[in-house]
């Protein structure tokens, strides 16, 4: 009794099956790409809104800084005028302590303005 061993090769996928697998893998990658695109669009919209808010805040701070500078220049001009008038009238408007306090306040305002820049 002779037993013949027959070896059968494992079934190899047909061309059709391989194409189906390739299309399935491609479809999964397309879905992932679509999901990523949707996520990136949402992030872009969020960042755009954030940028608009920051630009608005920047413009507001810039306007505030400009107004502070203008106010400081007007006050400095007023002080200078008063000092010149006092020198002409030979009257001391501010005591030495008051002058030092005013100078310190002016330096503080200048430092705050520089801090905004």
- How confident is the model at residue 52, as a pLDDT? 97
Domain count along the chain: 1
What is the Cα 50 distance to its own chain's centre? 7
Domain assignment present for 10 = no
**Residue 8 domain-assigned (yes or no):** no
Q: Is residue 106 part of a domain?
A: yes
Is residue 100, in this structure, part of any structural domain at all?
A: yes
Residues 50-59: pLDDT tens digits?
Answer: 999 999 999 9
User: Is the pTM higher than 0.85?
Assistant: no
| Residue 60 token pair | 């507001």
8-17, 62-71, 103-112: range with highest mean pLDDT:
62-71
The answer to whether position 14 is within a domain reads no
Longest dimension (CA), the chain: 141
Residue 3 belongs to some domain of the structure = no
Mean pLDDT of 56-73: 93
Does any domain span residue 108? Answer: yes
Beta-carbon count within 10 A of 55 CB: 10
């Amino acid at each position: 009794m002779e037993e013949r061993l027959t070896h059968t090769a494992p079934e190899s996928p047909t061309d059709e099956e391989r194409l189906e697998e390739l299309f399935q893998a491609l479809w999964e990658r397309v879905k992932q790409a679509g999901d990523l695109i949707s996520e990136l669009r949402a992030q872009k919209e969020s960042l755009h809104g954030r940028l608009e808010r920051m630009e608005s805040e920047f413009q507001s701070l810039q306007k505030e800084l400009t107004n502070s500078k203008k106010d400081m220049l007007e006050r400095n001009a007023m002080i200078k005028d008063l000092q010149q008038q006092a020198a002409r009238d030979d009257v001391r408007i501010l005591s030495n302590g008051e002058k030092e306090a005013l100078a310190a306040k002016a330096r503080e305002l200048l430092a705050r303005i520089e801090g905004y820049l």
